[in-house]
Amino acid sequence: MQVQSMHFKARAGERLADQRLQKNLKKLSTKFVTARAQVVQELEEFEAIRNEAVRRRKAALAKLDVWLERFEREATRRGATVLWAETPAEAAQLVVEIARKHEVRRATKTKSMVSEEMALNKALEAAGVQVTETDLGEYILQINDGEPPSHIIAPVVHKDKEEIYQLFIRTHQLPREPGRVPEIPEMTREARQVLRSRFLASEMGITGGNFLVAETGSVALVTNEGNEGLCTAVPRVHVAITGVEKVLPTLEDLATIMRLLPRSATGQVISNYFSLLTGPRGAGERDGPEHMYFILVDGGRTGLLGGDFEEMLRCIRCGACMNHCPVYQKIGGHSYGWVYPGPMGSVLTSSYVGLEQTLDLPQAATMCGQCHVVCPMKIPLPDLLRKLRERQFERGLRPWPERLGLRVWGYVAQRPALYRTLARLGVRVLRWMSDDGRIRRLPLASGWTDTRDLPAPAGKTFKELYAERRR
């Protein structure tokens, strides 16, 4: 996907001014945040499971090469083909080649953020393959001219029912009762009817992969709609695409982590559907694809191994960090400008597409720490964002007034006498500029005063008052 992260400020500004979006984004805190808090509280051993899951994930990543090779062996032994892609573009090319080889003209697809990295739908359409998104949210975005998702598990969270209905009217040629917006179950039925024929006509099912299991060569798929079942049982070909970091050594690892994923993501104890798929249709079996492919994508992931950002690879894509992020809650996912939004996205985008293109992302966080608190994998997101800020500073990527300001402030703060003199002067100037106890406009600090008053300082510093008191 094309990177738009350099336009973060402008895009965030537009979203803040969009009243409708602001209303829609409230769903996050009222729905996901509350539900997660509830289920976490109900599970007494949540913290213990979390510690165990982190331990297992760390162990898997410590020998990532070993587990990937084991996965390849086991999957191959069971009749699947394992392909490797160094870049998302290569991965997209592999899918196109598979489609060509099996003469596929119609494909169905489940939600996959890696496929967004790959811009897969565009690549397939260019190759003449009609591809249908079958996750309801992703389908809605697809019929809106391929709008990108704004959330990694709730891709259409930024839209309300009315907006979605308008898209249905535009896309589905069905008789309508003028002026009436149907209830959500009715709209879901409509989408289901449209999608049913696509499912049945599909020659290739494309899925993501929440996890890979090395010991069995399986892929685990988690959905709430069951579309992954129809995408993998009906078509002749199944292609599962996922990042190389998603491999788990054993089924026990998977079972442990699955106790955290739905709880952290949507506040569900378990997702509505869960598929564990191993190999294509075997002799004497009645369903399943004739051909099964795995495409394992690097796309910058192995570059994080052994470095400052390795912990990011533990991410299981639950979305809890963005659900709980005060910044994400206000600006939504599109502001971040690439595939992954929110705190995890700020780290991943900076790592995968390069810090030069993401000047704002590490900075656009209040460092409140709530993402770290809720992350089931205990990824220290604020620390990682700070490390990215350090890299930006070291490489001189931040604007010069900021660097100069920091340098001057740092110089003064290390010289107590100078600091004291300037502080005394500064508070007097600010006091003089104030009116009725507040400063409404402050040159050089309009970032503050455009949206807030600055309460006026007392006029004397603490050190002055304290010295006077002791005299």
Chain positions contacting other proteins, by CB under 8 A: 9, 12-13, 16, 29, 326-327, 329-331, 363-370, 372-373, 383, 386, 388-394, 398, 402, 406, 409-410, 412-414, 416, 419-420, 423, 426-427, 438, 445-448, 450-455, 457-458, 460-467, 469
Of 239 and 359, which CB lies nearer to other proteins in the complex structure? 359
| Rounded alpha-carbon distances, angstroms, from residue 288 to 158, 201, 277 | 35, 15, 9
DSSP 40: H
Task: Give me 274's structure tokens.
Answer: 């869960």
Q: CB of residue 252 vs other proteins: minimum separation in angstroms?
A: 32
Let me know: does 299 contact 354? Beta carbons within 8 Å.
Answer: no
* Amino acid symbol at 448: W
Which conformational region is residue 54 in: left (phi greater than 0), alpha (psi within -120 to 50 degrees), or beta? alpha
Q: CB of residue 405 vs other proteins: minimum separation in angstroms?
A: 9
Let me know: does 314 contact 211? Beta carbons within 8 Å.
Answer: no
Of 146 and 416, which CB lies nearer to other proteins in the complex structure? 416
Q: CB of residue 259 vs other proteins: minimum separation in angstroms?
A: 24
* Closest to 321 (Cα-Cα) out of 345, 299, 355: 345
Determine the Cα–Cα distance for residues 232 and 218; give it in Å rounded to an integer: 13
Checking DSSP bridges between strand 218-223 and strand 273-277, what pairing results, if any?
A: antiparallel
Of 184 and 367, which CB lies nearer to other proteins in the complex structure? 367
Determine the Cα–Cα distance for residues 325 and 327; give it in Å rounded to an integer: 5
Of 77 and 438, which CB lies nearer to other proteins in the complex structure? 438
* DSSP codes joined into one string, 103-145: T--EEEE---HHHHHHTHHHHHHHTT-EEEE-SHHHHHHHHTT
Let me know: does 194 contact 186? Beta carbons within 8 Å.
Answer: no
Q: CB of residue 310 vs other proteins: minimum separation in angstroms?
A: 16
Q: CB of residue 431 vs other proteins: minimum separation in angstroms?
A: 10
Of 180 and 469, which CB lies nearer to other proteins in the complex structure? 469
Q: CB of residue 392 vs other proteins: minimum separation in angstroms?
A: 6
Determine the Cα–Cα distance for residues 347 and 358; give it in Å rounded to an integer: 10
* DSSP codes joined into one string, 196-245: HHHHHH-SEEEE--SEEETTTTEEEEEESS-HHHHHHHSSSEEEEEEEGG
Q: CB of residue 422 vs other proteins: minimum separation in angstroms?
A: 10
Of 432 and 462, which CB lies nearer to other proteins in the complex structure? 462
Nearest-Å Rg of the Cα atoms of the chain is 26
Of 96 and 374, which CB lies nearer to other proteins in the complex structure? 374
Alpha carbon 437 to its chain centroid, in Å, reads 43
Of 11 and 56, which CB lies nearer to other proteins in the complex structure? 11
Q: CB of residue 202 vs other proteins: minimum separation in angstroms?
A: 42
Of 128 and 369, which CB lies nearer to other proteins in the complex structure? 369
Determine the Cα–Cα distance for residues 211 and 274; give it in Å rounded to an integer: 11
Q: CB of residue 22 vs other proteins: minimum separation in angstroms?
A: 8
Q: CB of residue 304 vs other proteins: minimum separation in angstroms?
A: 19
* Closest to 271 (Cα-Cα) out of 221, 323, 231: 221
Which conformational region is residue 332 in: left (phi greater than 0), alpha (psi within -120 to 50 degrees), or beta? left
Let me know: does 289 contact 77? Beta carbons within 8 Å.
Answer: no
Q: CB of residue 465 vs other proteins: minimum separation in angstroms?
A: 5
Of 169 and 368, which CB lies nearer to other proteins in the complex structure? 368
Determine the Cα–Cα distance for residues 139 and 155; give it in Å rounded to an integer: 10
Determine the Cα–Cα distance for residues 396 and 313; give it in Å rounded to an integer: 27
Of 175 and 401, which CB lies nearer to other proteins in the complex structure? 401
